Every structure is written in structure tokens, then in C-alpha cells.
Amino acid sequence: MSNNELHLFVFEGVRAEQNYVDKLEQHFLGKKISVKCVYDAEIYQLYRQLKDEDFAFDMVNLLKERSKENAELLRDYTRDSFAYIYLFFDYDAHSTLATDEKIAKMLNFFDNETENGMLYISYPMLEAIRHYKDMETFKDLTVKCKRSNCPFKDDCGDAEACMKEPHYKTVSAAECLPQLTNINKYTKDVWQELIRAHVSKMNYLVHDVFDLPSQIESQSTIFEKQLKKHIQHKCPEVAVLSAFPIYVLDYFGVEGLKKRLIE
């Protein structure tokens, strides 16, 4: 993949996602010619907007319509300006608009960075990147994901207690290495450890092997494995997994990533 072609990054939130990508570029990816925009809503709202337009849309124009900031940032750009488009959103299964069918359709639609764009999902949300203490505990780390959307809540004796559990942002901050709560402390060594952990976790989810992957996996495959192994169970959960390391794996390729993890 050439670094000389323009990239468009589309983030769900206003600041946090861009901060992570900025730090990734600084310590691991290297600077690219890129434009970073914010959709500023959940993936399920993006789905509803695209559905209203029969999935016939122009991503750049859609972003321009979302905010004055986007309109100004993208004023001199069209869809043809960008060689690659990447979208980063949360699974957010507790959203009032959430359904797994919508996620599956979105991953099928946004499956190519040179066409509609490539969608990357964090499970359960952005803060998965920091929910890490060591490789041993991270391997099997899961969290509940549906809350009030749980299809089994009416038959669950623990439903009331489940609804009172802390928000995932609080949980991830409490259960991570102290330095991971501050993005400004993410050095190259930190990124190498986090990337190794998350891509190994992805490989474990898909192939039951907790080690660096030997091949790239599609976001649809990752979601299908989340459904089968975790989400479609009596107590729905997800394997904690960040989108950013998976993007890094896709960007460099298997062998390219292995080299960068030992530099």
C-alpha cells in the first residue's frame, strides 16, 4: 500500500479515536497523507442514514453534510480525491438502535478501502485498546455487551444486577495497566505490546491459536466468530478486541507487521 496516496479516516467520536490514530502514526505507522473526519454518531445511525438513501451515497458529501467542521475540512475534496477510506466505529450493542443484522450488513457494504470504504469495529467499544494488563489475562478477556438489549433478560435472575454494572469505560480504566489510561504515554514499546496482544487475540478468536496470525482476516469473519463464540450465548458478551491493531495488520500485512513488532 502506497503512503503517497491520500487516505480518509472517518471516526465515530470527536477526539479520542483521532488521538489514537495520531499516536499510531507517530510511533508505529509513520505519517501518511491523510484527512481525518468525524461522523459524530453511532454506527447504527450511519446505517439508518445509508438505508434511507438505499446505500447509494458519496461518503465525502455525506460527511460534509454532518457538520460545518467537516464541510470546511473537506471543502476542496471529492470522493475521487481519496485512494483509501477507513471507518472506525464501536460495536455498541447496548444502543437503542443496535441489531447484529445491521452490523453484518454494514461490514458487507464497507468491505473495501478503495471503494465504499473499509469498516473496522471495536468490541465492545473504543476503550478496548487500553483494556489490557498482560497477555495471559487478555487471551480470554470478555465483557457483557447487550445490557437492556439482551434477548434473555426477562428470564435471567441476574438481570437487575447486570443493569447496574459500571459502564465499560469505567471497567476498562480500572482493569488496565495504569499508563494505558493516558494516550500520551503510549510509546512505541507500548504500541508493539498492544498490537501483538490484539492481533493474537483476533487469531485466537478465529482460529483458536493465541499467537501472531499467519493470514489477514476480514472484519465479517471476525464478527461471525464473535457471534458464534460469544454474542449468541445465554449471557451475550464479546471478546475484547480493538479495531486499531487489526487495521495495522491489514495495512502492513502479516510479514510486514512481524518485522515492525521486533524493531
Domain segments of the chain as ranges: 7-260
Tell me how far apart the alpha carbons of residues 149 and 211 are, in angstroms, rounded to a whole number. 33
Between strands 7-11 and 34-38, the pairing is parallel
Q: Average pLDDT, stretch 38-62?
A: 88
Q: Output the DSSP codes for 234-256.
A: SS-EEE-B-HHHHHHHHHH-HHH
Mind listing the pLDDT tens digit for each residue in 98-153?
A: 899 999 999 999 999 999 999 999 999 999 999 999 999 999 999 998 888 888 88
Cell 495471559, located at residue: 136
Predicted pLDDT of residue 252? 94
Residue 122 grid coordinates: 471495536
Mind listing the pLDDT tens digit for each residue in 7-32?
A: 999 999 867 888 888 888 888 888 77
Predicted pLDDT of residue 1? 40
Q: How far is CA 128 from CA 173, 254, 262, in A?
A: 10, 22, 23
Predicted pLDDT of residue 4? 53
- State the pLDDT confidence band at 157, using cuts at 50, 70 and 90: confident
Between strands 111-112 and 117-122, the pairing is antiparallel
Write down the mean pLDDT value for the chain.
91
Going by the DSSP 8-state scheme, the letter that residue 241 receives in this structure is B
Predicted pLDDT of residue 3? 42
Mind listing the pLDDT tens digit for each residue in 63-90?
A: 999 999 999 999 999 999 999 999 999 9
Tell me how far apart the alpha carbons of residues 233 and 230 are, in angstroms, rounded to a whole number. 6
Task: Tell me: pLDDT of 247 over 90.
Answer: yes
